């Protein structure tokens, strides 16, 4: 892997992390804290939506973010052949 490919890989990696952190901040700070009162006007499963979002919804979103990160990183690794580099380094360590 040359230097340009390595930089492209890390740019894509940091962009993915940045985007997922934006979603995390939006859900945990904006929806669960700052907008909780307006969201409470909406009923969701019989409870105010702001309360549900702070107690349950944010947890669901966080779990989805974890799976999204894992899937997207697998795709990035395959795109930049990082999975083959990992297999090669593991084979070298065993010898």
Q: Give the pair of three-digit tokens for residue 1.
A: 């892997």
Q: Which positions ≥6 away from 50 have C-beta within 8 Å?
A: 31, 32, 35, 36, 37, 38, 39, 40, 42
The Cα 69–Cα 35 span in angstroms is: 26
The range of the structural domain enclosing residue 58 comes to 3-94
The Cα 50–Cα 72 span in angstroms is: 30
What local confidence, expressed as pLDDT, does residue 82 receive?
A: 82
Which segments in the chain show pLDDT lower than 70?
85-95
What local confidence, expressed as pLDDT, does residue 16 receive?
A: 97
Q: Give the pair of three-digit tokens for residue 81.
A: 């052949």
What local confidence, expressed as pLDDT, does residue 88 receive?
A: 60
- Tell me the pTM: 0.78
- What is the DSSP-derived secondary structure letter of residue 56? I
Number of domains in the chain: 1
What local confidence, expressed as pLDDT, does residue 81 receive?
A: 87
What local confidence, expressed as pLDDT, does residue 67 receive?
A: 98
What local confidence, expressed as pLDDT, does residue 94 receive?
A: 55
């Amino acid at each position: 892997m040359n230097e340009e490919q390595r930089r492209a890989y890390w740019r894509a990696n940091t962009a993915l992390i940045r985007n997922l952190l934006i979603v995390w901040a939006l859900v945990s700070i904006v929806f669960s804290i700052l907008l909780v009162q307006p969201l409470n006007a909406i009923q969701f499963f019989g409870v105010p939506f702001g309360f549900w979002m702070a107690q349950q919804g944010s947890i669901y979103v966080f779990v989805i973010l974890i799976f999204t990160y894992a899937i997207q990183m697998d795709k990035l690794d395959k795109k930049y052949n990082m999975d083959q580099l990992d297999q090669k380094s593991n084979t070298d360590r065993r010898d």
